[in-house]
Amino acid sequence: MSSTLRPASATEAVKRPGRWLALSVLVLAVLLVAVDATVLGLATPYISEDLSPSGNQLLWIGDVYSFVIAGLLVSMGSLGDRIGRKKILLIGATAFGAVSVLNAYATSPELLIVARALLGVAGATLMPATLALIRNIFHDPRERSLAIGIWGATASAGMAIGPIMGGFLLEHFWWGSVFLINLPVMAVLVLVGAKMLPESRNPRPGPWDMASVVLSLVGMIGVVYAIKEAASHGFAWGTLAAGLLGAAALYGFVRRQFTLPAPLLDVRLFRNRGFSGAVLADLLTILGMAGLVFFLSQYLQLVQGRRPLEAGLAELPAAVGAVAAGLIAGTAARRFSVRSVVSGGLAAVGLALGTLSFLDQSTGYPLLGAALLVVGIGAGFAFTVTADVILASVPKEQAGAASAVSETAYELGAALGIALLGSIVTGVYRGFPAPPGTPESAHESLGGAVEVAAGLPPATAQQLLDSARNSFVDGLTMAAGIGAAVLLAASVAAWFLLRGARLESGGEPVEAGEWENAGESADGREAERSGASVGSGSVKSAGDVKCGAE
């Protein structure tokens, strides 16, 4: 074996301290999105009381953000590759903060659904840009694994900070205040990021194909909407039409990408088994978890009677486990194997969800806290390693689009999880026996039952609440069992699909001035070093990329 590492001057370019300062700015964007996602669950009972949404509207409030962001992630990731990832990140962060104000002051369920959808448009610009910039800033594979681990750990920390901060705000202010916490984070991100982040783009991007953008958006929203409606209300002609329209649009999108000289997404990436396996693992993992997590805050508050801040603290073990696992996931994957770490993580999450299928109204916190800790550890290992595999499988020039695929799988899984598992919880809940004369709103959501009970005589109110809570827990445990089965199946699939995949282990050579203009090398040498030829669609497995050896 002969080393191909460059002299000390090149190494110093890779090791310059500025890359970690840039990472600290990027993780603010992750924090922004994670906090927003988690505070909504705590605010749901207050939104139900103030805006009186139907059960279906409540689900839309929860998942329309994921629908829109899933439909636009690939388009926005590709746009960032073309116009500059720093530019689209700063534009998106500014829009995210502005639309958060609209969410905070929504006066009806319909307006809140629209505001959440607009937040999805802004959010679609953030996550792909952060991962793509990490791919272009960190050339050394081990440092990149650590950077991705920190990126994922920050998302988990945001998931912990969100409920705690949200719980404090909900105890002292109105529910809209949970959206306003985005503003200071956004301000710091924009002001500091404008100075600290290097610009990064594809040197030969080609045009941004609007037809592909429309096909992607229509396809994703159509398919997810059809699944949601079918799960909630059964098959109907409108549901079938939406599903067929979405499927046709996605088929047209894929066909169009094969014909474009500069596609919005190089669909040939999916021929790489490691890339496809990592994407599928992400989708199934979050699908199995999302529906349960969405309703867990309601269980803690409306079933067990915890205050919002206490409920936020109760969910802390999941974030702590994810932070710890994310920071060591890259090292573990190199010591053992990618498939061992990912499959093991998914199996751990599945088993933990299985224990939650035995919840009842009086389940003690030790069992719940231990299960959440295991969920966090397993998810931290799986998500960090799959993100690393996805980024290492593509050349830097396609980092935005590849990151968007990873995030699309995550958001699509979240939308499907809330739609499918959430619909199971709602469907089981609606069947509870209520005292005669109980308004229909009590059957729409548990928050509605609590509101109705407040106006009833004590004995009748207690009868209504006991019945509603029992039914809600029955739905929650059924969803947990199905989620556990999905996660265990994902673990088996990852074991086979990720066979032979491994993370890069050496240092990538880099020119002295390359960090400042990452991704702008026009001579194609960086693409060759990444194991792919730009535009060819021939992408090697992460395990096939040899860095500094042979």
Can you tell me the mean pLDDT for 506-513?
Answer: 38
Can you tell me the mean pLDDT for 229-245?
Answer: 79
The confidence score (pLDDT) of residue 248 equals 94
CA dist 344 and 338 (Å) reads 10
Share of the chain above pLDDT 70, in %: 81
pLDDT > 50? residue 351: yes
Give Cα separations from 427 to 55, 143, 235, 419, 423 (angstroms): 10, 47, 15, 11, 6
DSSP lists the bridge partners of residue 532 as 539
Q: Which residue has the higher pLDDT, 542 or 414?
A: 414
The confidence score (pLDDT) of residue 538 equals 31
DSSP lists the bridge partners of residue 539 as 532
| DSSP annotation string for 3-64 | -----HHHHHHHH-THHHHHHHHHHHHHHHHHHHHHHHHHHHHHHHHHH---HHHHHHHHHH
- 289-332: per-residue pLDDT in tens? 776 666 787 888 888 888 877 877 888 888 788 888 888 888 88
Q: Are 365 and 314 in contact (CB under 8 A)?
A: yes
Q: Are 326 and 474 in contact (CB under 8 A)?
A: no
Q: Are 480 and 359 in contact (CB under 8 A)?
A: yes
Q: Which residue has the higher pLDDT, 73 or 534?
A: 73
pLDDT > 80? residue 533: no
CB atoms within 10 A of CB 290: 27
Token pair of 31, please? 């924090």
pTM of the predicted model, to two decimals? 0.71
Highest mean predicted confidence (pLDDT) among 67-76, 110-119, 452-461: 110-119
pLDDT > 90? residue 344: yes
Q: Are 130 and 26 in contact (CB under 8 A)?
A: yes
The residue written with tokens 């693409």 in the block is: 527
- 43-97: per-residue pLDDT in tens? 777 888 788 787 777 777 877 877 787 778 778 877 877 788 888 888 988 998 8
For domain 15-194+204-209+260-434+441-502, the CATH superfamily is: MFS general substrate transporter like domains (1.20.1250.20)
173 by Cβ neighbours in 10 Å (0-12 / 13-18 / 19+) ranks as: exposed
Query: Helix (H) and strand (E) counts for the chain?
Result: 20, 0
Range of weakest confidence among 206-210, 304-308, 419-423, 538-542? 538-542
Q: Which residue has the higher pLDDT, 413 or 338?
A: 338
Share of the chain above pLDDT 90, in %: 5
Range of weakest confidence among 335-339, 395-399, 423-427, 429-433? 395-399
CB atoms within 10 A of CB 388: 28
Closest CA to 352 of 373, 334, 382: 373
107 by Cβ neighbours in 10 Å (0-12 / 13-18 / 19+) ranks as: exposed
